[in-house]
Structure 1
């Protein structure tokens, strides 16, 4: 299933307030296979802060669709597709100001500078 994640909601289960995440909300709203929340069966949970039934995650600041598995086998199948890079991701952004063109494409990585976690650079 696909769920829209609003910006500034966490995908991972935070240690301090585990109820404040998309994962917690999903488990309250939908019938989710308990195996997806088992660290031994779902490697995304190992080391704490995992994302349970979510097949991928979005950064806290990012809004958009997230793929959700309700069964462990579905989760494994979708995760394999991500690992084999068989999933195409497309991002759309809103720009404030005057642009030279009506549309365009950024064909370079966008990353967070490690020293300044909140500042984004191209």
Structure 2
């Protein structure tokens, strides 16, 4: 092992010891997202067609008089993208803690990144 490699290993070990649980989780989610070919949510902008991959933090059914919606916050370790299914009350497998990859066009609603009616693939439970 070269000196640079040993310094890099030592740096990684020290980081693991000093980083918070949230920082470690974010790094793992970013790594998993990159392995799935996902674009980091932080780098997504209005109008782009993207594929984002991460873990669902929250899933909320919002009953509205005209059009009910199912909304889920997808976190990839860098930022959150809200997935919105219009006219849906429930989708099997869409639940907090579930990993998935979603594809669609980024919109911005109330200064939050949103994908309406995304195409999605549920990842196998880990």
* Structure with more helix by fraction: 2
Which entry has the higher C-alpha Rg, 1 or 2? 2
- Calculate the TM-score normalised by the size of structure 1: 0.26
- TM-score scaled by length of structure 2: 0.25
Judging by fraction of residues, say which structure has more strand: 2
